[in-house]
Structure 1
Amino acid sequence: MKIIYDTISKIVLVLMLAAAVSFQAQERVISVDEVKNLALENNKKIKKAQQSIEAAKAARTSAEAGGKPTVDGSVGGYYFSKPLSDLIPEVLGSANVNVTQVLYAGGKVETGKKISSAAVDLQMAQKSLTKEEVKLSAETTYWQIVNAKEKIALAKEYIRLLDQLHTNVKNSFDAGLTYKNDLLKVEVQQNEAQLNLKRAEDGLSIAKLNLAQIAGLSNSDFDVEDAVSGGFDGVLADSQLQPTNRPELSILAKAVEMNELQEKLLDGDRKPSVALSGIGFSSFGKNVNPVNMKNNMQGFVGMLSVNIPIYDWGARKEKVKEQQYKTNAQKLEMEETKELLVLEVQNAVMQLNQSVKRIELAEKSLVQATENLRLNQDRYDAGTVVAEEVLKAQVLWQEAKSEILDAKAEYKINEAKYKKASGVSNVY
């Protein structure tokens, strides 16, 4: 009984280990939505954009402290040799506290706060743009992987057809019913098919590595859903279609706002500034107090300073004008960008509609090529056509099948581009 029990235990252990290995070997299958979510969570460009936002927030906090009083302190110890020690204590210690409050600075403090807030908004809009670009890149690569997988399956199916034809032609050649030239033509096509299969496999590997980098995956040991599915509908062209929710517009709007605030900041340099300062001090040393000759002395100094710009040969005025020209240039860029975004949407509509038409024509071609292949195969089996006709029919079928795969993958990519261009894709 002990031997039977040990044997059963070993069998169960082996089965459990095999099951564990099999489970680990299974590739993770991810969908296009999951790919986009992973990219938004892990992509380094998005993380970099978030760091820029945090930096802008820190700068805003710093600017908000600009109108508050500042307190500085210092402590020092001194030793004086002769002849200075005959006039002041030989050993002297001092401590100072300086408090400064800006009362008026030509509006520069408040303007600086507004600029820092606008900078935060600009960085957030830049992150939104980065997200949209990363999503498009992830989805594009995803459909390239799907297309590569289907191209591999097509290449294998084509090789199977060629192998079958090769067998038939070789049998005919061995029987003296055909020429060797016919056999060589099939073999040349077999070599080309093997090369195409290798290219498709290499393209799949590169695309998976690229997607792993975009989505922040640790390796390329994953798989995607098998085929291009869903509807392939076009979009009605609308000459009045306007892009909405585009981060580019928010970025440029904030850039214009910051340029306008920069004008006010430079204009503030032409206005007077008023500051109030107070210095409290304490000194220690032998007979340091000249009034009562005590060894310590404390006091306070208050100061009101007014700085009035009088004349600088027009330098400050020209800086303001320079900034005004920059602001106007920024506004023109924003207007031009709006026009270009409208063109981008229209182009995306046309590209998507072209993809729909391409799919329709490719499907018709595939039906025709399939029927052509069937007819030529039947005629070859009946001995009414030579193998070259079947070979040509197989090539046409393979090209038609490849065309429809490319067309469907192109549609999915153009659909993603259209959503990005029109601003209808959700920002996660």
Structure 2
Amino acid sequence: MKKYDKMNMNQKVFSCLLALLCSLYLSAQTATYTLEQCREMAKAQNKQTQINEENVAAAKAMRQAAFANFFPKLSANAAYLWNQKDLVLAPDKLDTRIGTVQANGGIEWAQTAGMQNLQNTIAGLATTAEAASPGAGMIVTQMANGAINSVGNAMGGIYGDIRKELTFDIKNMFVVQAGVIQPIFMGGKLRELYRIAKANEQIAKIRTKGNDDDIIVNVDEAYWRVVSVDEKLKLANQYVGLLEQLEHDVQIMVDEGVATQSELLKVRVKLSEARMQQLQAMNGLSLSKMALAQICGMPLDEQFNVDSDKLTEVELTTKEVNMEEVYDNRTELQLLEQANNIAKSGVKLAASTLQPNIMASANYIWSNPSVFNGFQKKFDGFFNVGVVMNVPIAHVNDIFLLKAAKHKARTIELKLEESREKIELQTTQSRNKVEEANMKLTMARNNLTNADENLRMAKEAFSEGVMTSSELLGAQTAWLNAHSQLIDTAIEAKVCQLYFLKHTGNL
């Protein structure tokens, strides 16, 4: 037995030194992240966080745009127009009572009573002249017609000059306008649009906070999963070490004839099972770290450790819950509150369509050509001020839209009441789970204390030869289960505390 004790002591010293060296080497090669560091890394790389930040910036700009609608809008416009033809206000042929006057031409006399009398008079004079002297009648007729044609040509020339003066060159036209428009009364539209934009900005901020809470929950769950598997791996390593030591001891006892081969085989079967569990824990730890790395934005093959110190020393506290504070902190209710504000503004916005709209405007207009002092080929302008009012008279569809807006607002109020009831139930359940986890944690610690003491006594009894290896295996299994149960209970307590904080809005 002295030889056995000496070999046992040497093996323990060697195992401790090897474990210490491995631990120092791994610590030097890999980084160790705390829970808070993982949270910050996840927030920094999360695409939804970046999207939410852009949405907040966009909502802020929309609110500023809605606020700007209260102020005057100043604008300027300019136009150039090329026309194929000039502007002519007089036709080339002018119909009058005495005939049709052609610009720069003659006149086509109308057969009026006056013209008929003139022609009769000329014919009478020609007859008298012909009677007095043969051939004189033709001369009188020619002279009279020539005089009439001269008068017609003179009238055509005068009309041509008038038509020329009434012809304006508009082939190149320029217009410049600067004006300002100021809403005076829009039935409350602008005020409600601003309130809606303000509520949308708050919604964008609340969604950012809600997304941060979701990131924290996802990171914490992945983090504690890594811690759980890591602790299980450490426990598996310890358990394998215990079984290897027991195998060594039983082998010596078999060699000395104080134990049977059957007892040795039982230990080896347990050792094989423990090594299988050890391998599963190693694979599980690798996968859990990859999942955490993906959430935190790290390379999937990055080697790192997590801080799991004092895991089993976790202490849970549950203070009295003030439901009014919970209602104020929960993002779901905050979103519904803002949706309710938008719905109320929607009712007022629908009502504003049935009210008058009044706007004032002021403009200054320059044009070339200008017509303020005759037709001139130069820039000149004028100033005008006006007020426009629109009064809805028969807008039946707007009345039904107002009713629909009221029903929608009532729907959101009912959803808000229902959500309050559900949140109160959810908070109560979370509090109960935390209290239950506290009780489980206390029982698991007591069970671990008993299992540790039982294993110590079993080792002493086995060393003294008053306990079989099978009984020691049972004590080791109970020790393993107690440690595993404490790890599971501690992780469960952490997760329960996490969801309690989330459900009370205190993440």
TM over 0.5: yes
CA contact (8 A) 1:150 1:227 kept: no
User: Structure 2: any 5+ residue segments left out of the alignment?
Assistant: 1-24, 89-166
Of 35-44 and 405-414, deviating more is 35-44
Which residue identity does 2:52 align to in structure 1? A
Cα shift at 1:52: 2.1
Cα shift at 1:100: 1.8
2:499 equivalent to 1:417: yes
Cα shift at 1:364: 2.8
2:203 equivalent in structure 1: 122
Map 1:26-105 → 2, pairs under 5 A: 26-36=29-39, 43-82=46-85, 89-105=170-186
CA contact (8 A) 2:227 2:306 kept: no
Cα shift at 1:148: 2.5
Which residue identity does 2:440 align to in structure 1? R
2:110 equivalent in structure 1: none
1:110 equivalent in structure 2: 191
CA contact (8 A) 1:152 1:201 kept: yes
| TM-score (norm: length of structure 1) | 0.80
Map 1:317-396 → 2, pairs under 5 A: 317-378=399-460, 380-381=462-463, 386-396=468-478
The CA distance in 2 between the partners of 1:178 and 1:134, in whole Å, is: 57
The CA distance in 2 between the partners of 1:84 and 1:202, in whole Å, is: 92
The CA distance in 1 between the partners of 2:402 and 2:46, in whole Å, is: 41
The CA distance in 1 between the partners of 2:343 and 2:323, in whole Å, is: 31
CA contact (8 A) 1:39 1:134 kept: yes
1:315 equivalent in structure 2: 397
Can you list the C-alpha shifts for 1:177-217, whole angstroms capped at 9, x where unaligned? Answer: 76766555444433433333333334434444444455556
CA contact (8 A) 1:63 1:116 kept: yes
Of 164-173 and 338-347, deviating more is 164-173
| TM-score (norm: length of structure 2) | 0.69
User: Structure 1: any 5+ residue segments left out of the alignment?
Assistant: 1-21
Q: CA RMSD in A?
A: 3.5
Cα shift at 1:309: 1.4
2:93 equivalent in structure 1: none
Cα shift at 1:278: 3.4
The CA distance in 2 between the partners of 1:169 and 1:241, in whole Å, is: 65
Cα distance change of structure 1 residues 82 and 237 upon mapping to structure 2, 3 Å threshold = closer
2:362 to 265, 278, 294: 278
Cα distance change of structure 1 residues 124 and 148 upon mapping to structure 2, 3 Å threshold = same
Cα shift at 1:93: 2.7
2:271 to 180, 184, 190: 190
Cα shift at 1:58: 0.5
Map 1:228-267 → 2, pairs under 5 A: 228=311, 230-233=313-316, 235=318, 243=326, 245-248=328-331, 249-267=333-351
Cα distance change of structure 1 residues 235 and 120 upon mapping to structure 2, 3 Å threshold = same
1:7 equivalent in structure 2: none
The CA distance in 2 between the partners of 1:169 and 1:378, in whole Å, is: 15
Aligned length: 401
The CA distance in 2 between the partners of 1:241 and 1:345, in whole Å, is: 12
Cα distance change of structure 1 residues 166 and 23 upon mapping to structure 2, 3 Å threshold = closer
2:215 equivalent in structure 1: 134
The CA distance in 2 between the partners of 1:234 and 1:300, in whole Å, is: 75
1:152 equivalent in structure 2: 233
CA contact (8 A) 2:213 2:502 kept: yes
